[in-house]
Every structure is written in C-alpha cells, then in structure tokens.
Chains A and B, each alone.
Chain A
Amino acid sequence: MKKINIKILPLIFILLLSLSADVLWSQEIVDGGTGNEVKVILLKIGNGIRTGAIREFSDELMEETYISLESGVSAYFSANQSFYVLKDFFQHFRPTGFKMIKKSTSSETPFAVGQLTYNKNGIRGESQVFITLKLENNKWKISQLIIN
C-alpha cells in the first residue's frame, strides 16, 4: 500500500473546512430566515455608499431599480444603467461619510435609512438615504434607493 503524501492532508483539511463553512452559511440563510442575507447586502450598500464604489453592491440591484437622487434623477433604471447613474451621482456628490440610522432586516419588506455626507464642488452637504429590498428569483435585491 502506498503512503499518502502528507502534503495533501492540509489541502484536504482546508477543502473540508471551506465545504463545512458553505454548509453552515447556507443553513443560516435557509433556517435563520432572510436576516443575514439582508444584513450582508445592507453592509455592502453601506460600504459602497461610504466610498462611492458602486461595484460593491451593483450586483445586488434588481432588474429594474427605482432610483431617486438629490441631483433630481428619479426613475426606474435597469441594473446596467443603475451602475453608471449612481457612479455619475457619486462623482459629483463625493461621499465623505455614511452611517446607517435605522435597519429593518426581519420584515417582509426590509429597509434601511442612512445619512450621507458629501462634498459637492467643495461645499459640504448632507442627504438622507432610504433603501428597500425585495425578493427577486429567491434572492434579496435592492428595489429602491433614494438619496434626498
């Protein structure tokens, strides 16, 4: 009988660990309800708005997302278009800070309210942010993003 190469063992261990993490994580979503998934999305949105990096949460946008912005824009945009609409907004309203004021992750219509501080042409400003999520193909997605 051939000896098992000892170098393979750590690899198998890592593989098993990652698999078990996956199983645990998926259980948490299924069993623990929608809370964690929603929390993760809201965290992504928070980070994205704070830094103006839309890519952080652009994958979480619904096929048609309602976007209403301080700049006057308010309409439904495709996920493709939303990316650049938001990117364009944050280029003019450069975020300097963002904090979540209120979060509801357990209800049927999860939402969050936040406060954004920005710099527009060297002048500081403040906006309230409202986000709602909806189920789309069994995944929570951003259905509405209002920055006023």
Chain B
Amino acid sequence: MFTSKLNRAYLIISMLALSLVLIIRIASPSFINSYSDNWSNSFKEKKLEIERIIQARIDKEEASLAKISQKIKEEISKANPVYDEDYLELIPSNKKISINLFKSNRLIGWNAKELINSNKLTQLLFKWGVGKAFFYETPLVVYLSMVSEIDSILIFTSIPIHKNYFLKNSFYQSLSLTDALDKEFNVSLLPNFDMHSETTNYLKIKNKSGIEIGSVSVSKSSKETDVQKLKDKIALIQSILVIISILLFLLWLSSRKVFEYDILKLVHFIISAVIVRGSFALLNIGEYLGFADLINPIYFSSPFLLGLTKSPLELFLTVVTILAISYKMFIYFTERANLNKLNNAMKSFLGVLFLFLLLLLYNGFTSAIKSIIFDSSILYFKDASLFSGYQTVFMYLNVLLIGLSTILFSTTFVLGFVNVITQFIKKNIKGVFFLLFFVATVFFLLDEMFYSKSSFLLSLVFSVLVFGLSYYWISIKSGHFQKIIVLLFSSSILSISFLNYFNTELETNSLKTIANELTRSNINLYQYYLVNALEEIKENIFFTKKIKSKKINFDAEAFLLWTNTTLSKEFGGSIVNIIDRDKNLLGKFEYNYHTKFSWTWIDKINKTTLDNLVKTDELNKTIKGITPIFNRDSLVCYVEVVVLGDTYKLPTENKEKLISHINPIKKISINADLLKVYDFRNNKLSNYFTNVFLTNKEKETIKSVPLTQNNDRWANVIINGERNIFYLKKIKNKEGDRLLAVGLSSKDITWNLFDFFKVFFVHSIMILFAMLVYLLVNYKKWRTIKISFKTKILVSLLLVSILPLIFLATYFKNISDNKNKSAINYKLGKHADKVEEYINTYFSTSTLSNHDIYDKATRDLEINFSIYEGKNLIYSSEGNYYKIEFLPLLLNPNAYLALNRYGMQEIVVEESIEKYSFNSLYHKCSVSDFNYIINVNDLFNNYQLPMTGIELNVFLFGTYSLAIIMIVLLSTLLANQISSPIEKLTKATRSVANGDMDIQLQSVESGEIKELVNGFNLMVRQLKKNQIELAEVERESAWREMAKQVAHEIKNPLTPMKLAIQHLVAAHNDKSMKYDSIFKKVTTTIINQIDTLKNIASEFSNFAKMPSIKLEEINIIDVANKTADLFIEEKCSVKVISDKEVVVIKSDNEQFQRMIINLIRNSIQASANEIEIDIKDNVDKVVLLVSDNGSGIDEEVLPNIFEENFTTKKTGSGLGLALTRRFLNYTNGKIAIKETSVNGTVIKIEIEKNV
C-alpha cells in the first residue's frame, strides 16, 4: 500500500518538475528583462560586497599587527633589554609577520628580511603616526605595515598582502588581494596601494582610523555577459529539473507490472543508468560544485564514449555508471538467471557470446588503463609522495573502480560461460573451469599476438585472476562481506598491474618526447618570444608608472618585467636590461645566461627609431631586441631583451628552480636524473646530459644506427655492458646535421614492486574506508553480530603480528630521518670547510679582490655559497636572488644569535622561501682579523641522498603494507584452519537438532580434531540407529497397547451384546409373550453397542492420523534460506532464488522446513552438487521449483515415488515424499515431478494462499 503510494508520488513529482520547466521557460524572458533593466543597481551591490570583503581582510590583518606589536612592547618592558642581541632574542618567531626593530636609527632586531631602512621608517612614522596601518610597497611584495614605539625603540611590523610577480612552478606561493574576488564576482579588480587613487571607478580601502590607505579599481564585465550568465544559470536549473523528472519517471516505471521478468528489469536498469549518465553529461556539475581541478582536462581527458570521459570527474561518473550496470548483471547472472531452461541452440549461442564478451572486455580494459596513463598529465609512479594532489588520488580511485567493474563483468561472463558449458559437458565443476580457462587463455594470447594490447604475461594474469575469482565466488562458502573484500583487492591488483605496465610503455615513449622537447626551440620561436616580450613590456603600465622614480630597485623591476613576459615560460637563457635615456644600464635580470650590456649593436644598425628593434646574431646564437618606454610621450628609458638559443638544460641541472616555469621534462614520467642524452653535431659528440661517458666504439654504434624515412629510430645500445633503449633523431639545418640520442637503461624502465605498492597502499586505504562506511551504514545489524571464534582468533593473530610491525616501521623511519639529516649536515659542513680553506688560502696568497676570490671559489669548487660580515650579506654565488630581493640580505636571526652570542662555531637551520624548505649551514670563520660567516645550503647545491624522506615513506609504506597484507592473509588462513572444523561441527549439530540424522562430516585434519569429527559422526550414526530402534520399540509397544486397548474396548460392548442375544434366544425358546418387546429392546441394545464399536474404531483411526498441524504465517524465503544454511558444509551448493524478499503463506513452520530438508537430502543422495529453490509469488498461489543437477529419477519408479513405504534407497524408510505430499494436501498444496532426466530433476510445489 505504502509502496504504491510512493510510486504514485514519483510520477506526480516527475510531472511537477516538468511543469516547473515549462513555467520557467514562460517566465524567464520577463525575469531576464527585469535583471537587464536593474543591472546597474545589482552591479553597485556587487561592488559594495567586494568592498566589504576587502575591508574585512585588511581589518583582520591590522588587528594581527596591533596584537604582535603589543606583545613585543610588553616583552621589552618586562625584560628591560640592554644589548642589541637582547632585543633580537625577544622577537617572537612568526612565519607570517615580518618584524624589524630600530634603536637610534640602527636595525637591532629582525625575524626575516630587513624590509625598511631607518630613513624611510622615519618618513613613514611622520606620515602615518604610531599604531596606524598602511600599505608598504617593496619591489616584489606589498605589505600592510604598522609602526609602533616603546621608549626609543621603533617596531615595524608587516604582513604580506599582495605579490607583484607571478611564477608558474610548484614552489610559488600565490598571494593576491583581489584574484579570488575576480573569479567570485566575475569582475576585473586592480589594486592600487597609493594613498590617493586616481581612478574614478574605485573602492576605498581604509585603516581602522578611517584613513584611506589604498583603493581597488573595478572594471565591470559587460551587461551582455552578465545577462548571458543569468541565461546559462536558468538553463542549468531547467536541465536539473528535467533530470529529476527523468529519474523519478524511471523510478515510477520500474514499479510497473511490465517489469515482472528479471531480464526486463535488468534491461530497464541499464537503459535508466545510461539515460541518467547522459543527462549528467549535459551539466557541467564539477564547475558548479567547485571541483575546478577535477574537471580540468589536463589531469585526464579522452574523447572515448563521445566525451563522457573528458575529465577526471566525467570519467568517474561514467565508471560509476558502468560499475552499477556490471553489479546488476553480476547479480542477475549469478543469482537470478536460469540458463537451464534455454534450448541447446540458445545455450551454444550464449557460450560463444560470453567468450566473445570476455575478450572484448579484456581489450576494453587494457585500452581504458592505457588511456589513463597516456591521456593524463598525472605522473602516477614518478612522484614519490603517496598523496600527491587530490587529482591523483581521485584518478587512483577511478583506476580501482575500472578494475572492479572489469572484475564484475568478467566474473559474470565466466560464470555464464561455465554455466552454459556445464549443460553440455557432464564433468565436475573444477574440470569445466579448467577447460574453459584453457580455451579463454588461448584466445587472450592470440589476441595479444595479433593486436598487442598489453603483454602475454599480463593477459595470463588477467585470465588466471578472472577464472580464479569466478571459481572462488561459487565454490567458497564464505560470507558476502569477505567475498567483496577479495573482489576489491583483486580489482586493485589487476588494475595496478596494467597501470604499471603501460607506465613503462609511456616511459619508453618519453624518450621521444624528450628528444622533441630538446629540439622544439628554434630561431623562429625565439623571435616570436622576443617580439612578444617587447610588446608586453611596452604595455606594462605598472612599470611605466614606477620607472619615473630614480630610487627604485631596477634589478627587481627587470625581474618583474621578465616574469610578465613569455620568456619566463621557456628554459633558454634570457636577459632583461633596463637602460636610461643616456644609454647607461640601470638594472638587469639574467636567467641561465650572462653577458655584459653593450649599446654597440644598436648604434651599428643606425635606425632613427628604436621601437621594437630586433637583431639576430647567428654567430652567438642570440636574438636581441630593444624598445623605448614612454610616459606621456616623453622617453623614460629603454628596455633591451636578449634571448639565447641552444641553451637547453635538463631540469636536474636547473639551479633557477625557484623562478623557472614548470619544465615539460619534469612532467614526463621518466626521472631526468637517469637519462642519457648525447648530442652529435656534424658527426662529433658536442654535448651530453649524463655522467655516463661513451667510448669511441659506443659513439660509432650510436652513429651507425640506420634511420627511418622520418629520420628517427628506436635502438638498443649496450653502454658500459648495460643494455639501453635509445630514441635517435636526426635534424638537418643550416649548420649541418645534428643527431640527438636520448636513452635510458633498460633496468630503469622495468616494472618494480616499489611503484606497485605505492598505488596499492592508496587503494587499500580506499577499500578500508569503503568497508568502514559499509559497516557504519549497517550499524543496526551490529547488535545481531556475534563475535565468532574465528574472528577472535583472527583479531588475536593480527594484534600480535601487526603491532610490533608498526612499532618497527616508526622506529626505522625515525632512524632513517635522522640519518638523512645527519648526511645532509655532514655534506654541508664539508663544503663549508672546503670554501673556508679555499678563501683563507687565497686571502693570504692572492692579490685578487675579495669578490673575485669568492667568484673563483664558486667556479673552482663548484659550490654555491654566501658570505656574511656581521649580519649583512657581502657575497653570494647566486647573487641574482638577493639583488631582486627574493632572498633576505640579512643573516638568519637564529644563526646570528648562535654564532655571535652563544659562541657556536657552526649551526644548521631549516629555512624556507615560497613553498621550498631547505637546510642552511652557517659556519663562522676568520682570517687576518677578518671575521666572516660562510653559508652553504641545499637550495643552491644539489645533494643526492640514497633515499629522500618522501621516498623512504613510500618504501616503508610499501614494504610494510606488503607485510601487513601477507600477515592478514596468513592470519585469515590460520584462523580458518583452526576454526573451520569447529564451525562445521556447530552447523552439523544444528542440523541434527533440526532432525537431519543423515549428516556425516568429512575431515582432512589429523589429531584431536579428527577424533572429534569421527566421534561426532559416530554419535550421529548411533543416534540415528537408536532413533530407529526406539521408534521400532515404541511402534511395537504402541501396537501392543493399542491391541490391548482395542481388545478391551471391543470386549466391553460385546458382553452386553452377548447377554442381549442370550436373553433374546431364551425368550424365543420360552416362546415368551414379551418376545416382541424383548426383541425390540435387545436389537436396540445391540445397535447401541455396534455404534459404540464404530465410535471406538473412529477414535483409533483419529489416533493414527498425522501429527496436528500448527498453522501460522511464515515467510517461506526465510525458512528456505535457513534450511539451505544447514547444508552449507555439504559438498553441494543450495541456492534460494526469488525476486522478492518476503513471501508469506499460512503453513506449519516446522513441517515446511522438514519438507525442504527431505527434498534437498533426496537431491544430494541423487549425486546433485547444485540445488536451486526458485520461489515465485503469484497472485493466488506460491510456486516452488526445486531443481538439481543430480542423476534424476528412473521412469519405472516415477509413478510410485509418492507412495508410502516405497523407496529406492537401501536405508530409506519410503516415507519422505509420501509425508511431503500428505503435508501439502493438508495445506492446500500439491507436489509433482516437473521434469527429470540424467541432467537433473525439477520438482514443482504449488501452495494455495487461501488455506
């Protein structure tokens, strides 16, 4: 009743949703018009909201500045410091806020950079006063700052608010006052950190004192765009309503009578799932739900399935749909479908179809996993961290789900295949499985031979796993929960094996990509970049504005110009020079290239206008260009850009990693450290990126490889006795021939366990999470869960083995981390010692200037270092970073205190810039009264560790998860082995209690368990014997008693009858006058006594009837399932099939169960190993079809099988089927043999619902 109401509700809501779509369609034009008319007002509201958000952020940051300033003031008044170092020590460590302390115009305290000098501070104090926030601009970063004062100490605190530069690499930490708001409000915001804004359309930013400190100009988007966006939103709402309507309609449809058959239900489900998936494809749901990265095609996109896999999220939705379909098919074919009913032609067709589908599935699966690898920028195995971005984890989930749906589909096909073939070949199930495994494997191998989808080995793995799982599913009597876990882990193993294989293919292919990358750049590209860069610089209004001031950091400005041009995206050397009107260099930024500025080339060209003047210098392989910068028609300066061709560097060599764009080679799945790149120009090796040197013979081998028409070739080359795979590419240009050989050792490409376990570990966590969710969802069933003996053993074994393992892993990780740290510190220390020794030697012996000595040390020792005098930097091998104020010019305050105050000779501190953390060693030195500090760090020096922290984590997680999996498997096996006989005994005891005395347990165990099982079997046999004897004795005794009773009861009426007849005879002989009346009396007496005899006979007849039937409402599916459970330990599978969960009839629960036991026992005794009880609930009756694959019933005995005392068994009573029929007769039921043959028997039972 409730269900039908609910179904009606589905239809009504579906129709309502559809009506709503129509209403929106009618109403939307006027709504859009109204929005269009009021657009200006809504834009004003938008501006107010933006202003509120920005002001709230500024207020919050100002409060933080005030708080920390107050804290420092309190510390100073409390501690009453005397020396400069005392002040330094009082500064709290704060990563976000920069603090500078000044005393008598001297900087005495800092926690990061020296952001300001005392003159500038005095000016700001005069301008803003104490305790008021204002914007303070440095070339690269804009801060919100505040000056506070205590005694004679000035405290300058600053919070970074906005970065003027943008870098596209993994270390860059973006910071913008307006970027997030641009996207949220669909406007273009431009912050202005000047006190007085020049723009007309701007939002004011004020400090807490109400003073305007800056502004944000708002460029509004066009009215048309906003109106279009509104239209899009309305269309989206309509689409959602249509989808809801379709979904509800499908739900309503599924309850219709037309779907009475399971196969129709399955087809309906598949069509519904496809429609729903298709509907979702119309909505870009990821964008609306804020999953921007999950809909980004760079993480994965493939045109497969007409765009249903165009992003990670779309792939997920498609995979979930396929998974749902595969699950439904699996359930249908393993539990519902009765293929026995089909004719032989149909069975043959299905057999071939299942095999074909299995092959198709294999091909589809390999293509899908290959696409996951090749059509994605995610490096599934290269990145050592376990959770490298949620996009990667999401794709791991997709891979697992693809594996799971493949396993479900393939198990369905294999079981269908086996089921059909079993009809033809009368073999045991194991034999059929083995035969079909062999056939399918041959087809897989042939498929591999002709189409090379993956490898022979993997196709074999696929076949073994799929057939193994199918056999496991039908033959192992474990619970569904355990089976699902096995399926999930198998899916993971299968998908990762293929993923890993295709990754090795991609790695090999990467050699070609690297060769392409190394030859991608040419003079045309550099020209394009240069012209582009000059245009972009000319249009840079910030630069034009700032260049008016003479006191700016021109080096930093050159860097900012560089980051704003396309040059920053390339890896070839480039330079940006800022030149004044008098042709003097004001500032420069050099990237991967160094050359002195010279105006000569411009003079040589002798052009009157220098607007975008470009010159190519083929000799030096450079292109130069210059453009004048004007401010209101007056020339302010020139900017020269120099681009150097042919300076490509591999990412491992790049010391400029903090500012470099993400290198395409970094995004290639191969590890650039392992590459071997040889560059032959005109037959001579001119360059190489590797530390493996070639012998002349090896060089000749590479050069002599014959190339294809495309001038390229894959080749195997032995170098240093090691096999390498090389991609060779020949390029012809004006300078002659160039042969590029990019290779990798074969052992570096091969599959490894380390990679496998990294993904497997993530999958394991996902599976455990899914199981946890499953348990939480089913928490109501917890009460009924009994902790079994097996569970107790399993938990004990796991606890005993895993806990020490976790302890060991943690301990090992700590040790390794400390060792790594010590190794880095040792290397830093060694390098600092080398630099000290070198400098001290040259100081005492050389006439070179200090700066030249430092430069020489950098070149000769190949160590990058910095030198500090006091707290100030006086030299750095990577001076670029300091000149542009990217790195602080002041010594780390902790190092300063340690070396100057606490007399330490050396200290290692952890520092960070942007998102990059590194170790920095400070080493105190002195030579000839010159005290200085050497700083060496692993930011600018590359130290190779045997295993980095992340790699170690992965290794530990990998190996220990392998150990844990092994332990879980072994523990489960052991627990099973220990508890299985006890479980068997428990179930057998239950069967005996239910009256099944034919049960006998098989035991392969030895020792006590075998004795126990034998004892049980003996006990059951004895019980049965005793029961039969007892029944015999009872029957005999009952017959005796009954005979006595019958005799006694019969005797009682016989005596009066005898007396009456004697009386009648006497009357007759005496010719009595009362003869007539006596006759009447006597006959009445005799008739009465005969009635008494009849009553006695009836009562005895009643006494001999069946035991009384206790009618009650019973759920026969429940009863049948419970009965089937009794046979769980038998060598026979008993399956109860029904399309309903509850089928209630009025019957006797106990006798109904006994009837099912009788039928199952009969089937087992007829050698059946598969029994199905199919329960159908029709309108007026219930039909049970009990089918088996036993030896069937002989035609001769068929008419007698329901007769009492008829049996074909040696020990049978001949009562089972007779009693069943009699019981069914009492409950308005009937039983008949529907069909029987050597392939099995089907018994049909019909029970009327109205008893």
Q: B710's contact among A111, A119, A136, A143, by CB below 8 Å, is which?
A: A136
Please determine whether B186 and A121 come into contact, CB atoms closer than 8 angstroms. yes
Please determine whether B710 and A138 come into contact, CB atoms closer than 8 angstroms. yes
> A72-B168, A74-B664, A132-B525 are contacts. A85–B225 as well, Cβ < 8 Å?
no
Given contacts A84-B310, A128-B535, A146-B528, 17 further A-B pairs with CB under 8 A are: A64-B512, A66-B516, A66-B520, A75-B377, A80-B303, A80-B374, A81-B297, A84-B301, A84-B302, A84-B307, A85-B301, A111-B524, A128-B528, A130-B528, A138-B709, A143-B520, A144-B525
What is the bound-complex CA distance between A146 and B520, given in angstroms? 12
- Give residues 92-122 of A contacting B (CB, 8 Å): 104, 108-109, 111, 113, 119, 121-122
**Residue of B at shortest CB range from A124?**
B222
Closest chain B CB from A120 CB (angstroms): 9
Task: Find chain B residues with CB under 8 A from A144 CB.
Answer: 520, 525
What is the bound-complex CA distance between A58 and B532, given in angstroms? 26
The answer to whether the Cβ of A19 comes within 8 Å of any Cβ in the partner chain is no
> A66-B517, A137-B710 are contacts. A80–B524 as well, Cβ < 8 Å?
no
**Residue of A at shortest CB range from B221?**
A122
Please determine whether A64 and B224 come into contact, CB atoms closer than 8 angstroms. no
What is the bound-complex CA distance between A75 and B310, given in angstroms? 18
**Residue of A at shortest CB range from B509?**
A64
Task: Find chain A residues with CB under 8 A from B302 CB.
Answer: 80-81, 84
**Residue of A at shortest CB range from B539?**
A126
9 contacts between A and B (CB under 8 A): A64-B512, A75-B667, A76-B667, A81-B301, A84-B297, A84-B310, A109-B524, A134-B516, A143-B520
Closest chain A CB from B165 CB (angstroms): 14
> A84-B310, A122-B224 are contacts. A76–B517 as well, Cβ < 8 Å?
yes
Closest chain B CB from A114 CB (angstroms): 10
> A80-B301, A80-B374, A128-B528 are contacts. A121–B296 as well, Cβ < 8 Å?
no
Task: Find chain A residues with CB under 8 A from B168 CB.
Answer: 72, 74
> A75-B298, A143-B516 are contacts. A84–B661 as well, Cβ < 8 Å?
no
What is the bound-complex CA distance between A73 and B520, given in angstroms? 17
Interface size class of B (residues with CB under 8 A): 35 or more
The answer to whether the Cβ of A30 comes within 8 Å of any Cβ in the partner chain is no
The answer to whether the Cβ of A22 comes within 8 Å of any Cβ in the partner chain is no
Please determine whether A109 and B225 come into contact, CB atoms closer than 8 angstroms. no
Task: Find chain B residues with CB under 8 A from A72 CB.
Answer: 168
Closest chain A CB from B201 CB (angstroms): 14
- What residues of chain B have their CB less than 8 Å away from a CB belonging to chain A? 168, 186, 188, 219, 221-222, 224-226, 296-298, 300-304, 307, 310-311, 371, 374-377, 509, 512-513, 516-517, 520, 522, 524-525, 528, 532, 535, 566, 569, 661-662, 664, 667-668, 709-710, 732-733
Closest chain A CB from B45 CB (angstroms): 18
Closest chain A CB from B180 CB (angstroms): 14
Q: B375's contact among A66, A81, A111, by CB below 8 Å, is which?
A: A81
Closest chain B CB from A19 CB (angstroms): 27
Task: Find chain A residues with CB under 8 A from B668 CB.
Answer: 76
Please determine whether B298 and A85 come into contact, CB atoms closer than 8 angstroms. yes
The answer to whether the Cβ of A51 comes within 8 Å of any Cβ in the partner chain is no
Closest chain A CB from B79 CB (angstroms): 49
**Residue of A at shortest CB range from B187?**
A121
Task: Find chain B residues with CB under 8 A from A85 CB.
Answer: 297-298, 301
What is the bound-complex CA distance between A64 and B712, given in angstroms? 15
Task: Find chain B residues with CB under 8 A from A138 CB.
Answer: 709-710
Please determine whether A64 and B566 come into contact, CB atoms closer than 8 angstroms. no
The 8 closest A-B pairs by CB, nearest first: A122-B225, A122-B221, A84-B301, A84-B297, A122-B222, A148-B566, A81-B375, A80-B375
Closest chain A CB from B708 CB (angstroms): 9
Task: Find chain B residues with CB under 8 A from A132 CB.
Answer: 520, 522, 524-525
Closest chain B CB from A80 CB (angstroms): 5
The SS class assigned to the A binding surface is strand
Please determine whether B662 and A74 come into contact, CB atoms closer than 8 angstroms. yes
Please determine whether B664 and A76 come into contact, CB atoms closer than 8 angstroms. yes
Q: B374's contact among A68, A78, A134, A135, by CB below 8 Å, is which?
A: A78
Task: Find chain A residues with CB under 8 A from B221 CB.
Answer: 121-123
Task: Find chain B residues with CB under 8 A from A111 CB.
Answer: 524-525
Task: Find chain A residues with CB under 8 A from B303 CB.
Answer: 80, 83-84
The answer to whether the Cβ of A39 comes within 8 Å of any Cβ in the partner chain is no
Task: Find chain A residues with CB under 8 A from B661 CB.
Answer: 74
Task: Find chain A residues with CB under 8 A from B374 CB.
Answer: 78, 80
Task: Find chain B residues with CB under 8 A from A143 CB.
Answer: 516, 520
What is the bound-complex CA distance between A83 and B310, given in angstroms? 9
Please determine whether B219 and A108 come into contact, CB atoms closer than 8 angstroms. no
Task: Find chain A residues with CB under 8 A from B516 CB.
Answer: 64, 66, 76, 134, 143
What is the bound-complex CA distance between A119 and B661, given in angstroms? 26
What is the bound-complex CA distance between A119 and B522, given in angstroms? 31
**Residue of A at shortest CB range from B532?**
A128
Task: Find chain B residues with CB under 8 A from A123 CB.
Answer: 188, 219, 221-222
Closest chain B CB from A78 CB (angstroms): 5
What is the bound-complex CA distance between A111 and B532, given in angstroms? 16
The answer to whether the Cβ of A87 comes within 8 Å of any Cβ in the partner chain is yes
Q: B297's contact among A88, A122, A135, A137, by CB below 8 Å, is which?
A: A88
What is the bound-complex CA distance between A80 and B662, given in angstroms? 22
What is the bound-complex CA distance between A137 and B512, given in angstroms? 14
Please determine whether B524 and A104 come into contact, CB atoms closer than 8 angstroms. yes
Task: Find chain A residues with CB under 8 A from B307 CB.
Answer: 84
Q: A122's contact among B226, B512, B667, by CB below 8 Å, is which?
A: B226
**Residue of A at shortest CB range from B527?**
A113
- Give residues 50-71 of A contacting B (CB, 8 Å): 64, 66, 68
**Residue of A at shortest CB range from B533?**
A148
> A122-B226, A137-B710, A144-B520 are contacts. A66–B297 as well, Cβ < 8 Å?
no
Please determine whether A81 and B520 come into contact, CB atoms closer than 8 angstroms. no
Please determine whether B376 and A81 come into contact, CB atoms closer than 8 angstroms. yes
Please determine whether B522 and A78 come into contact, CB atoms closer than 8 angstroms. no
Please determine whether B188 and A77 come into contact, CB atoms closer than 8 angstroms. no
What is the bound-complex CA distance between A72 and B374, given in angstroms? 21
Task: Find chain A residues with CB under 8 A from B524 CB.
Answer: 104, 109, 111, 130, 132
Please determine whether B311 and A113 come into contact, CB atoms closer than 8 angstroms. no
What is the bound-complex CA distance between A85 and B375, given in angstroms? 11
